[in-house]
Amino acid sequence: MSLEQAFQSLPPDAAEAVVESIFSKPFLNALGFSDEEIVPKFGIGKWAVDQAARKNTGDDIFLHTQNDPYLYMEVKGRPANLSGEMYPDHRDTVLQLKRYLLAPSSKSVKWGLIMNSLHVQLFRKHGKIVHPVTSCLSLEGNLKQVVKLLRQHIGSPPKALTIALYNNKGGVGKTTTTINLAATLTLYKKKVLVIDFDHNQSDLGDALNLSPLKNKVLGVLKGKSANIRDIITPYKLEHPSLKEPLGFDVITADDAFSGELDEAKLRQIVKLHDLHKALESLKNDYDYILIDSPPNWRLFAQKAIYAADVVLIPARHDNLHSLQNASTAITQFIPAMREKRRAVQESGPIVLPIFMNNTPTRSAPFQVALMHNAIKKIIVKSKSETGFDLTHYFYPKYCKGQKNLDMVSVPYMAYIPRADFMHMPAAFAFKPAREQYQNLVKEYFL
């Protein structure tokens, strides 16, 4: 039976078992997996995912060996509403898929699909991060296009995860965190590109003793004259005890944007999606692309968020505005960019739990209580005004029956600003600082 026929033969209220028996196999076949490359009810520890698939290589027939799965698909019945991310059915299904993808035995899996034969959405796994790649795509009437789109994605998995560091409050440590995350990821043998997109300050280049670019970025963004590879500067740390130099690549800020710029004029010549497009060609060269975005909600910040797969928001416990602004970014700015990308069938960035920078080492209980109270107010306010539940963005470990107020944090350390004066990342210069960032990296990404 062809996919089209299978689709037509499904009753309008087909239950999960019906969708499974009639539609799942033709659908995976259409995505390029033959019958020997599909295993239904694939066991993952104590759970089982509805379908798992992988291309056969030589004698290694997936149906027989059942090792190294490449793609999981979680199937639901038609009554389960998967048409948008605001529906509870969708949320539960995604949580289920995430649990499967992040299980220790799923190391080799790169992709996850959720599907109820009416809608389908593709997710990618990169280290510890699971993020949506496409929007919730409707299969009705455009089966062929959707299958083609999914095949394109699944056939060529990009190597890189693009992370934007953003908070529209300044001084929360975006640049410092960017540099040190890059340095720490390098220590885990990851290839990293850092983009300083805060052209007004160009602090990132300065912190590494790299000089800013002169009128080059505009050409790259316009995508005509220049190649993005030409404006990459490598940062290297050489030391007698290192066998080979440690380092990562940097695109420094551009002087041409630093002065007073007429934003309206700039908007006439560059587009929102041009950074996203420019990075496309680099996505197989790097494991991580970090974008240090400026502290405002203007053109460059928007471009950075638009281009990202995930957004990491640093905040400070002693700065109320940094917390409030984080909530504004999550409830308004980032959804706006997601809306734009959904228009082209992509998903746009997800937001990682907010991370607290410069927390005091010796706990000052009254100050901590002050912060928790402020966060409580923010959560209540956003719930009543926009219906957005921010609890998990602030308290990632908060769950049923457990009031766990632990936050992801990096404490204040004199080493971190001191490294700035030495023009090198603190994670390279000082072991205690390195260990803090190692924890951060493991918490989020590895």
Partner 1 sequence: MSFSDVGNLMCLPFDEIESGEPTDVHEYLIQAAANQLGPDGRNWIPVIVKETAPDQYQVIGNSFVYAVAAEAGLAEVWCIIADDLPETVAISRSLAQEVLPKTNLSIASREEISAAVDYVLHQPATPLKGVSHASLVARLDEAPRQYWKNLQPITKLGCRITGGKKLKALEEVFYLTPEPMPEVITDRKILETLTTQQLKDMAKKRDVKGLSKLKKADLVELLAAA
**Interactions with partner 1, residue window 294-353 (CB under 8 A):** none
| Residue (400 or 431) nearer to partner 1, CB | 431
Q: Which residues contact 185 (CB under 8 A, 6 or more apart)?
A: 192, 248, 287, 288, 441, 445
DSSP string, 19-83: HIIIIIHHHHHHTT--GGGEEEEEEETTEEEEEEE---BTTB-HHHH--S--EEEEE--TTS--S
CB of 187 to partner 1, least distance (A): 11
| Residue (417 or 432) nearer to partner 1, CB | 432
Are 131 and 105 in contact, with CB atoms under 8 Å apart? no
Q: Which two tokens stand for residue 319?
A: 């700065």
Looking at 202-210, 268-276, 420-428, 435-443, which segment touches partner 1 (CB under 8 A)?
435-443
String marking each residue 399-418 x if it binds partner 1 according to CB under 8 A: -------x----x-------
Looking at 51-59, 252-260, 296-304, 429-437, which segment touches partner 1 (CB under 8 A)?
429-437
Looking at 60-68, 148-156, 211-219, 433-441, which segment touches partner 1 (CB under 8 A)?
433-441
| Residue (234 or 432) nearer to partner 1, CB | 432
Looking at 40-48, 296-304, 342-350, 431-439, which segment touches partner 1 (CB under 8 A)?
431-439
245, 201, 249, 255: which is closest to 229 by C-alpha?
A: 249
Looking at 80-88, 95-103, 229-237, 428-436, which segment touches partner 1 (CB under 8 A)?
428-436
Tell me if 438 contacts partner 1 by CB under 8 A. Answer: yes
String marking each residue 16-55 x if it binds partner 1 according to CB under 8 A: ----------------------------------------
Q: What is the Cα–Cα distance from 138 to 433, expressed in whole angstroms? A: 47
Q: What is the Cα–Cα distance from 65 to 61, expressed in whole angstroms? A: 6
Total residues at interface with partner 1 (CB under 8 A): 9
Tell me if 442 contacts partner 1 by CB under 8 A. Answer: yes
Tell me if 436 contacts partner 1 by CB under 8 A. Answer: yes
CB of 438 to partner 1, least distance (A): 5
Are 272 and 340 in contact, with CB atoms under 8 Å apart? yes
Tell me if 435 contacts partner 1 by CB under 8 A. Answer: yes
- Tell me which residue has tokens 């050409």: 219
| Residue (22 or 441) nearer to partner 1, CB | 441
113, 125, 193, 131: which is closest to 157 by C-alpha?
A: 125
**Would strands 310-312 and 161-165 be described as parallel, antiparallel, or unpaired?**
parallel
CB of 219 to partner 1, least distance (A): 42
String marking each residue 367-406 x if it binds partner 1 according to CB under 8 A: ---------------------------------------x
The DSSP 8-state label assigned to residue 331 in this structure reads I
Are 288 and 312 in contact, with CB atoms under 8 Å apart? no
Phi, psi dihedrals of residue 60, rounded to the nearest 5°: -80, 90
DSSP string, 190-236: --EEEEE--TTT-HHHHHTT-PPBSS-HHHHHHTSS--GGGG-EEEE
Footprint of partner 1 (CB under 8 A) = 406, 411, 431-432, 435-436, 438-439, 442
